[in-house]
Chain A
Amino acid sequence: MNFEHILFSIEAGVATLSLNRPEQLNSFNAKMHGEVREALKLVRQNPDVRVLLLTGEGRGFCAGQDLADRNVAPGAAAPDLGESIEKFYNPLIRALRDLPLPVICAVNGVAAGAGANIPLACDLVLAARSASFIQAFCKIGLIPDSGGTWTLPRLVGMARAKALTLLGDRLTAEQAEQWGLIYRVVDDAALREEALKLARHLATQPTYGLALIKRSLNASLNNSFDEQLDLERDLQRLAGRSEDYREGVSAFMEKRTPAFKGR
């Protein structure tokens, strides 16, 4: 698959999407947005893909929006940033959240602006020890987008969410792990391999069931307790009809390793 600003491959059930504008710290321009969207469509349409791994090339993960695309000349009309969010960032965040499979994000370096919030829309986030998260928006007069104002208070609590977004300070990967912003910190040299190992493991698991877990946890953030109990009932009913559930139970009874197919 030929892309200019991303690398994309599918192997043994794992789709790997790597942002690839290393000179610009993988910041987004319109073309990269288009390519990421195209790749996510391929992921969605290919029944063989059971896990998505998102990462970046070079020393950064993603520096958010490429501001070279956004230079506001003196006297020129203000750009409509809402339109750019509506057209590019919100669909990307929704697509990651709605993908019916586990999405792993390996944050290989600095993650700033939208680049700091994109990982938070993924399901399992690993970060290199040298990586960092910067809610840089406040420094140029903007607000955190790409879901940041929604995910941050839920992940780290309101006090820390406000400090991160109002100060725009650099948060180290280790601090991010301690605060519960991400799942795990990994040594720089081991990050890609660790993330791939995790992805390959998940790709052999009952991924249909994993997708239902993801769906139920995502929904729980908006649901009342009663609504969530009803949702658990419904999704468990679906899970119980899957081939993987049958396989899981029979393998357990027959004391063998199950062979899951993700359906």
Chain B
Amino acid sequence: MPRTLAVLPPEQGVRLITLQRPEALNALNTELLGELAAELDAAEQDAETRVVVITGSRKAFAAGADIKEMAERDLVGILNDPRLAHWQRITRFSKPLIAAINGFCLGGGCELAMHADILIAGEDARFGQPEINLGIMPGAGGTQRLLRAVGKSLAMQMVLTGEAIDARHAQRSGLVSEVTQPEFTVERAVAIARVIAQKAPLAVRLAKEALLKAEDTDLASGLRFERHAFTLLAGTRDREEGIRAFQEKRRPDFTGQ
């Protein structure tokens, strides 16, 4: 059993993972990151799990990395840091990942949230990369994913000043897709997850992969990947079922085949 996470068994295809280190505003220490990576590995293997929602508390999604832990590592320690492998496993997760964010979403917490495919924020959420204040910088994608999400000027401002932005600002700049009342952030994220969980799993997986391709390749290669993925789906039973159900005006029954 993980100590720093609460994991609910999948319900209607959706697995909910809650970060639980209240004493540290869910700061992402190595233990938590390792447990999260392991949970996502398990969710990857689990056929019942179609979508994962990850959330924190009302006060904090995650307020950063564990500073004490970080202080103890020298250059060689950081080179051999096990955290890198955990982050890579989180990045590799192939099913849709939705982050439901309330309160502080800072540093490593913001980087974790940006690993999600869809970000839903409560009105009082705050996003920031305050690493610069400690004489360091984001080290888990903060400079890369933030720039792709919000553009250069805002990303530079956030990373170089360390100042946070509120949920509405995050929505205007494209970092999050929806802002909701804080009491409903998790419910809303789960509702979106359930919609996705009813779709054909292979189509969802390839569509996610194609969208992520857009972030790290040129347009021509991206279009080529999209076309190949599109063609691959032509060999699936779910495509036949989806099109037939549409023509017969009924709900499709997808099997993931």
Contacts and interface: CB of A to CB of B under 8 A. Distances in A.
Interface string A238-259: 1000000000000000000000
A231 B184 CA distance: 11
Interface in A218-246: 231, 234-235, 237-238
Interface string B148-172: 0000000000000000000000000
Contacts of B181: 231, 234-235, 238
Interface residues of B, number: 4
Contacts of A231: 181
A234 B184 CA distance: 8
Nearest to B181: A234
A92 B83 CA distance: 43
Interface in A129-186: none
B180 interface: yes
Interface in A187-237: 231, 234-235, 237
B102 to A, nearest CB: 14
A171 to B, nearest CB: 34
A235 B184 CA distance: 10
Contacts of A237: 184
Interface in B179-195: 180-181, 183-184
Contacts of A238: 181, 183
Given A234-B181, A238-B183, 7 more contacts: A231-B181, A234-B180, A234-B183, A234-B184, A235-B181, A237-B184, A238-B181
A80 B181 CA distance: 35
A38 B184 CA distance: 30
Contacts of A234: 180-181, 183-184
A238 to B, nearest CB: 6
Contacts of B183: 234, 238
B181 to A, nearest CB: 5
B124 to A, nearest CB: 10
A234 B185 CA distance: 11
Q: Determine which residue in A234, A235, A238 has the highest number of CB atoms from chain B within 10 A of its CB, and name it.
A: A234
B210 to A, nearest CB: 31
B122 to A, nearest CB: 11
A238 B183 CA distance: 8
**In the complex, which of the residues B180, B181, B183, B184 has the most CB atoms of chain A within 10 Å of its own CB atom?**
B181
